[in-house]
C-alpha cells in the first residue's frame, strides 16, 4: 500500500507591543480551541512553535495552557520547536545575538517542558546560507523551510517531499520542506482536498513526508474565511487523518529522521517565501506621482531590501546595531550586562522592521515598543557616576557619512548631515523616541484615491528646511502638491564646528532658492546646542546673490505620539501670554510665539519657542496600509511647521532660534 508521513502543526507568534486585549483575542479564538481540539486526538502527533513573547504572555496570563501543553509534550504527542526567543529575523541581527537568542529559547523550553528542542522555527522562512552553521552550532538538528526554497535550491519531483541536508563551514543541518499550497491555503482548502493532496504524495516505499505547518493566527476567521473552529474544519481534518491511518501516518520530525536518514544535500540561496520576495521589492518613486502604479519595482527582492524600501526600518536597524555595540562594551558587571542584553533582544522582534502582512512597520505601537526596548538597553549600559554627556561622530545609519549623536543624562538627539535634520529624539526618563515617525510610502495595493492623499519624498524628521512660494497653501503641502522653492531638503550639510564636550554641532549648506523666475544662491547655517531637558537650533540664512531675496522659509518638525485621540494628544499655541488649544487636526495660525505638544500617554510635554513670531502650519501625518480587514488609516506623527516671510538684501542675513524643552507633567 502506498503511504505518506505527515508532520502537522502550527507556528504561533505575537509582536512586541501588541496590546493584551489583542493577544487575548488570539488566545480565545486560535490557541485555546486549537490545543483543546488536539487534546482529544492523542494519536495525532503535533509539531508546534511559540515565540518567546507569546510564551511569556501565556505563562503570565494563562498558565493552564502551559500545563496542558506540558502534559501533551510529556506523552510524546507534541514536539516543541526552538528558535530565536524574541522572534527576530536572523538576517538583521549580529551572529552573537543569533546564538544567544536561540540558546535563550532552548533554555526556556528545557526548564519549562523538561526537554531540549532538537528542531527550530525559522522566522518568516527568511534564509541566508550562513544560518546553517548558526543553527547547528546551537545544537539544532533540523529546521523547516517553504518548498519555494527547495525549488530555488534546484530540487524537484520526489525531493520536494523529503528532507535534505545543507551545510555551512562544515556544519550540517537537516531541512524539512513545508508544503506552501496547503500552508497558505488552510483552512480555506476543504479537508477532503487536503486529504487528496496528501494521497497524491504517497508512495510504495512510504518515505515521503508532507509538512503542513499553519500560521496559528490564520485560523480565527479574520483572513477571508469563516474560521476553522466555527466550521469544525480542524475536527474534520483530524478525524480524516485518524480514519486514514493505514496510509497517512502523523509523525514527529525526530521519529521520521530515525527511520529515514536524509541523503541529498543542497544549498539554498538567500530567499524567503515568494510573497515575501514581492513585498521586499524596493520602489523608485517619482516625487510627483499620485499613485503607486507609477512606481517601478526592482525584481527579486529579499528581506534586507526592507531596509532600503523603508528608511524608517533602516533607522531602527541602525539603532539596534549601535545598541548591540554598547551592550557588548559593558565590563565587570554581569547582571547589568544581562539586563541590557535582554532589552536589546526584545528590541530585535521582527514585526516592526518590515511590511507585507497586515501592519508591520506601519503600526505605530510596534515601532514604539522596539525603540523603548533599545533605549532601555542603552540606559542600562551607562555606568552611574562615570557617564558624561557629549556629542560623538559616527556613521550611525551606515550611509558612508558621519552622523552626530548627542547623548545626555535625560535625552538623546541625533543629527544627520542630509538636510541637517534631527532624526532621533529620545527622552530617557520614559524611554521614548519622539522622532519615531513614518512617512507616507506608495504601496502596490494603494488605490488612486489613496494616492491622491499624497506621498512623502523625504523622511519625516525635525528641522527640515523648506522654502515655499508665496501662494503655497497648507492643503497643497498636506497632499504634497506644493512646489519646493529651495534645494535644501536632500542637500548634504557640512559640519563647520563640532564641540564634543560643549555639546554643540554647527552645520552649513549652500544651494538655491527660486523666486521671481530666478534661482538665487542662498546659504543656511544652523547650530544645534544641547542641554539638560532640551536643545536649541539657531538659524542664519544668508542671501549670496546680487538681488534682494523675497521668499518664505519653514522649519518642519514632526513629533510622534501613539495616537492623536483627545485622551492621548493635545496641541496648544501661544501668542504673547495667551495660550489656545488647536487640537491635532489640520490648522493654520499666525503670529505664533510657541507651540506645546502634550502627550498624555507618556505624561510628557514638548515646548517649542520661536525667537521670531511665525505662521504655524499644523497637520497630522497619517498612513494608509493593509490590515486584516482591508485598508486602514493610522496616525504616525504631528507635523509642526513654523513659517517666516523673508526679505533679505544682497549679502545680508536673517536669524531666528527655535528652543525645545522636554519635561514630565
Positions in the chain short of pLDDT 70: 221-231, 283-300
Mean residue pLDDT across the chain: 93
Is there a contact between 453 and 480 (Cβ–Cβ < 8 Å)? no
Torsion angle of alpha carbons 83, 25, 437, 584, nearest 10°?
Answer: -170
Q: What is the pLDDT of residue 134?
A: 98
pTM of the model: 0.95
Does domain 4-277 bear CATH number 3.20.110.20? yes
Under DSSP, is residue 202 helix (H, G, I), strand (E, B) or coil? Answer: coil
Q: What is the pLDDT of residue 294?
A: 46
| Distance, CA of 192 to CA of 327 (rounded, Å) | 53
Is there a contact between 3 and 203 (Cβ–Cβ < 8 Å)? yes
Query: CATH number of 448-664: 2.70.98.10, 3.30.70.1060, 3.40.50.300, 2.40.50.100?
Result: 2.70.98.10
Q: What values do phi and psi take at 44, rounded to 5?
A: -95, 115
Please enumerate in sequence order all residues whose Cβ is within 8 A of that of 647, keeping only pairs 6 or more positions apart, or say none.
548, 549, 550
| Distance, CA of 314 to CA of 417 (rounded, Å) | 16
| Distance, CA of 408 to CA of 146 (rounded, Å) | 46
| Distance, CA of 68 to CA of 265 (rounded, Å) | 38
| Distance, CA of 459 to CA of 241 (rounded, Å) | 53
Q: What is the DSSP pairing of strand 518-531 with strand 403-407?
A: unpaired
321, 292, 291, 328: which is closest to 304 by C-alpha?
A: 321
User: In 432-576, which ranges are continuous DSSP H helix?
Assistant: 448-451, 474-478
654, 519, 123: which is closest to 356 by C-alpha?
A: 123
Q: What is the pLDDT of residue 224?
A: 46
| DSSP at 295 | P
| Cα dist from 555 to 310, 462, 479, 587, 651, whole Å | 23, 8, 18, 16, 22
| Distance, CA of 640 to CA of 596 (rounded, Å) | 10
HEC per residue, 461-500: CEEEEEEECCCCCHHHHHCCCCCECECCCCCECEEEEEEC
Domain segments of the chain as ranges: 4-277, 283-401, 448-664
Other CB atoms within a 10 A radius of the CB of residue 491 amount to 18
Q: What angle do CA 461, 467, 469 make, to 5 degrees?
A: 135
Under DSSP, is residue 626 helix (H, G, I), strand (E, B) or coil? Answer: strand
Please enumerate in sequence order all residues whose Cβ is within 8 A of that of 622, keeping only pairs 6 or more positions apart, or say none.
440, 633, 634, 635, 636
Amino acid at each position: 500500500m502506498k503511504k505518506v508521513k505527515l508532520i502537522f502543526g502550527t507556528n504561533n507568534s505575537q509582536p512586541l507591543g501588541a496590546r493584551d486585549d489583542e493577544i487575548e483575542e488570539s488566545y480565545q479564538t486560535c490557541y485555546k480551541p486549537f490545543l483543546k481540539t488536539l487534546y482529544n486526538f492523542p494519536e495525532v502527533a503535533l509539531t508546534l512553535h511559540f515565540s518567546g513573547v507569546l510564551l511569556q504572555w501565556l505563562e503570565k496570563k494563562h498558565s493552564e495552557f502551559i500545563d496542558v501543553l506540558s502534559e501533551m509534550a510529556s506523552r510524546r504527542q507534541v514536539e516543541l520547536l526552538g528558535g530565536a526567543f524574541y522572534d527576530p529575523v536572523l538576517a538583521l541581527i549580529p551572529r552573537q545575538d543569533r546564538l544567544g537568542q536561540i540558546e535563550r529559547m532552548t533554555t526556556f523550553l528545557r526548564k519549562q517542558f523538561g526537554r531540549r528542542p532538537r528542531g527550530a522555527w525559522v522566522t518568516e522562512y527568511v534564509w541566508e546560507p550562513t544560518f546553517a552553521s548558526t543553527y547547528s552550532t546551537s545544537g539544532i538538528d533540523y529546521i523547516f523551510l517553504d518548498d519555494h526554497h527547495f525549488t530555488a535550491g534546484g530540487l524537484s519531483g520526489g525531493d520536494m517531499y523529503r528532507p535534505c541536508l545543507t551545510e555551512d563551514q562544515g556544519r550540517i543541518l537537516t531541512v524539512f520542506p513545508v508544503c506552501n499550497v496547503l500552508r497558505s491555503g488552510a483552512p480555506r482548502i476543504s479537508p477532503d482536498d487536503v486529504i487528496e493532496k496528501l494521497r497524491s504524495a504517497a508512495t510504495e516505499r512510504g518515505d515521503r513526508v508532507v509538512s503542513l505547518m499553519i500560521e496559528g493566527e490564520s485560523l480565527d476567521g479574520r483572513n477571508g474565511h469563516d474560521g476553522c473552529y466555527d466550521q469544525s474544519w480542524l475536527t474534520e481534518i483530524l478525524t480524516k487523518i485518524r480514519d486514514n491511518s493505514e496510509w497517512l501516518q502523523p509523525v514527529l520530525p525526530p521519529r521520521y529522521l530515525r527511520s529515514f536518514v536524509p541523503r541529498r544535500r543542497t544549498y539554498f540561496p538567500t530567499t524567503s517565501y515568494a510573497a515575501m520576495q514581492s513585498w521586499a521589492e524596493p520602489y523608485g518613486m517619482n516625487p510627483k506621482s499620485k499613485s503607486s502604479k507609477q512606481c517601478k519595482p526592482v525584481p527579486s527582492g529579499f528581506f534586507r531590501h526592507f531596509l532600503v524600501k523603508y528608511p524608517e526600518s533602516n533607522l531602527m536597524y541602525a539603532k539596534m546595531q549601535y545598541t548591540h555595540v554598547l551592550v557588548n562594551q559593558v565590563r565587570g558587571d554581569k547582571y547589568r550586562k544581562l539586563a541590557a542584553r535582554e532589552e536589546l533582544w526584545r528590541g530585535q522582534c521582527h514585526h516592526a522592521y518590515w511590511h507585507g502582512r497586515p501592519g508591520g512597520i506601519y503600526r505605530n505601537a510596534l515601532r514604539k515598543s522596539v525603540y523603548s526596548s533599545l533605549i532601555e538597553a542603552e540606559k542600562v549600559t551607562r555606568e552611574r557616576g562615570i557617564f558624561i554627556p557629549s556629542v560623538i561622530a559616527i556613521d550611525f545609519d551606515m550611509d558612508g557619512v558621519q552622523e552626530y549623536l548627542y547623548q545626555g543624562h535625560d535625552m538623546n538627539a541625533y543629527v544627520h548631515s542630509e538636510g541637517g535634520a534631527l532624526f532621533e529624539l529620545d527622552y530617557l526618563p520614559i524611554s521614548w523616541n519622539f522622532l519615531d515617525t513614518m512617512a507616507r510610502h506608495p504601496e502596490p495595493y494603494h488605490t488612486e484615491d489613496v494616492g491622491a492623499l499624497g506621498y512623502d519624498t523625504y523622511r519625516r524628521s525635525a528641522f527640515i528646511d523648506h522654502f515655499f512660494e508665496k501662494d503655497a497653501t497648507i492643503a497643497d503641502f498636506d497632499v504634497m502638491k506644493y512646489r519646493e522653492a529651495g534645494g535644501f531638503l536632500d542637500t548634504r550639510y557640512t559640519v563647520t564646528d563640532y564641540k564634543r564636550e560643549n555639546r554643540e554641532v554647527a552645520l552649513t549648506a549652500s544651494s538655491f532658492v527660486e523666486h521671481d523666475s530666478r534661482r538665487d544662491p542662498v546659504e543656511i547655517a544652523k547650530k544645534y546646542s544641547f542641554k539638560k531637558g532640551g536643545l536649541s537650533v539657531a538659524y542664519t540664512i544668508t542671501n549670496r546673490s546680487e538681488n534682494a531675496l523675497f521668499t518664505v522659509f519653514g522649519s518642519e518638525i514632526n513629533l510622534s505620539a501613539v495616537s492623536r485621540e483627545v485622551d492621548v494628544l493635545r496641541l496648544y499655541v501661544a501668542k504673547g501670554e495667551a495660550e489656545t488649544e488647536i487640537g491635532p487636526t489640520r490648522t493654520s495660525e499666525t503670529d505664533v510665539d510657541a507651540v506645546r505638544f502634550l502627550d498624555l500617554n507618556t505624561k510628557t510635554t514638548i515646548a517649542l519657542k520661536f525667537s521670531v513670531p511665525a505662521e504655524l502650519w499644523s497637520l497630522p501625518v497619517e498612513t494608509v496600509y493593509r490590515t486584516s480587514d482591508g485598508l486602514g488609516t493610522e496616525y504616525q506623527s504631528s507635523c509642526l511647521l513654523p513659517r517666516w516671510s523673508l526679505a533679505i538684501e544682497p549679502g545680508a542675513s536673517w536669524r531666528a532660534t527655535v528652543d525645545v524643552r522636554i519635561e514630565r507633567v
